[in-house]
Structure 1
Amino acid sequence: MVDTKRLLIISHAPSENTKRLLEAVISGASNQEISNVDVRYIAPLDTRPEDIKTAQAIIIGTTENLGYMAGLIKDVFDRCYYECLETTQGMPFTFYVRAGHDGTGTRRAIESITTGLRWRVVQEPLICRGEFNEEFITQCEELGLAMAASLEAGII
C-alpha cells in the first residue's frame, strides 16, 4: 500500500489575477495522473504550525509588496517559525511571486527565512514579473504539477 503524501500550498491571492495563479498551481498539483498526493491549500491567516509539520512538501505563493513578500505570508513565518524549526528541517519547497517589478527583494526575503528553517528549494522559484501575462497561468500550473509529480515519485 502506498502512503499518500501531502503537498501544502500557502498563498496570498488578493486579486483576480493572483487567484488565477493560485488556481493554476492547485490544478497542476491535482493532475489526474497523480494519485498519491493530497493537495491542500490553506490561506495564510488559517495556516498553523501543525499544517506545515504534517506536509511532505510546500509551495508558497505571494505578491511582491514594496519589494518584499506579502505581509500575510510573513505572518505565517512569524507565527510558525520556531514551532517548525526543529521538525521541518529538509522540507522540500518552492515558491512563486507575482511581481510588478523584479521580485528580487521578495525572493531574497523568502530564501533568507527558509534558509533559517533549513528547508530545501527543490524547484527553481517562479517569478511572474511585470504586466500580467497569460503565460503565468501555464507556468504556475507546471510548477504545481512538477512539485506533485516529484513528491509522488519520491524524488523530493
Structure 2
Amino acid sequence: MKSLLLVYHSQSGASAELARACAAAAGTVTGVQLQVLRAWDAGSRELLAADGLLLVAAENSGALSGTMKDFLDRTFYPVGARGPVLPYALLLSAGNDGRGARRQAETILSGYPMKRALETVICRGEVTASHRQRAAELGEAFATGLDMGIF
C-alpha cells in the first residue's frame, strides 16, 4: 500500500476547505493510505515515510504562506540528505493571482529530491463549488497515480 501525505496550512479557512475536498477524494482510492496534517504538525519523519506529498497552501501578500514555507524550511535539509525522490502536487488558494506563491513553492521544491507529478492548481478568490471540485479531482488523480505506480 502506498502512503500519501497531505500537508495544509489555512488561516482564513479557504485552504482547509480545499484540503478537505482533496482528502475526501484521495481517501476513496483503496490502495493508498492517506495522512492529513497541518503544516505546523508535519515534519521530516512524516515526509520521509510518505510515497507522495500533496501540499495545500494559501497565498499571502503574493507569496507562499509563511507556515507552509516554515514546513518546507524545517524539512529541507533532513529530507534532502536522506530522502528518495518523491512525487508531489500543489494546490493553492489565492486572493490575488497565485503566481508568486506557485513560483516560490516550486522553486523551493526543486531543491528537494522531489518531482512534480501534476500541474499546480490555483483556486482564486472565495472558495466555490468549482474550486472544491478541482481540489477533489487533484486529490483523486494524485492518489490514483500513486496507487498505479505512475508517479
TM-score range, shorter chain: over 0.9
User: What TM-score, normalized to structure 2?
Assistant: 0.95
Deviations for 1:64-111, whole angstroms, at most 9, x for unmatched residues?
001111111011011111000033342100111000111111001111
Pairing 1:28–2:25 present: yes
Alignment check: 8 A CA contact 2:8 2:56 kept: yes
Q: CA RMSD in A?
A: 1.2
Tell me which of 65, 69, 79 is aligned to 2:64. Answer: 69
Alignment check: 8 A CA contact 2:14 2:93 kept: no
Aligned counterpart, 1:130: 125
Alignment check: 8 A CA contact 2:51 2:86 kept: yes
CA distance in 2, matches of 1:44, 1:25: 16
CA distance in 2, matches of 1:86, 1:30: 30
Number of paired residues?
151
Q: Kindly, what percent of the aligned residue pairs are identical?
A: 30
Pairing 1:97–2:77 present: no
Alignment check: 8 A CA contact 1:13 1:22 kept: no
User: What TM-score, normalized to structure 1?
Assistant: 0.92
Amino acid in structure 2 at the alignment position of 1:107: R
Larger radius of gyration: 1
Structure 1 residue 112: Cα displacement: 0.6
Q: Which moved more, 1:87-96 or 1:134-143?
A: 87-96
* Gapped regions of structure 1 (runs ≥ 5): none
CA distance in 2, matches of 1:14, 1:131: 13
Aligned counterpart, 1:13: 10
Pairing 1:144–2:123 present: no
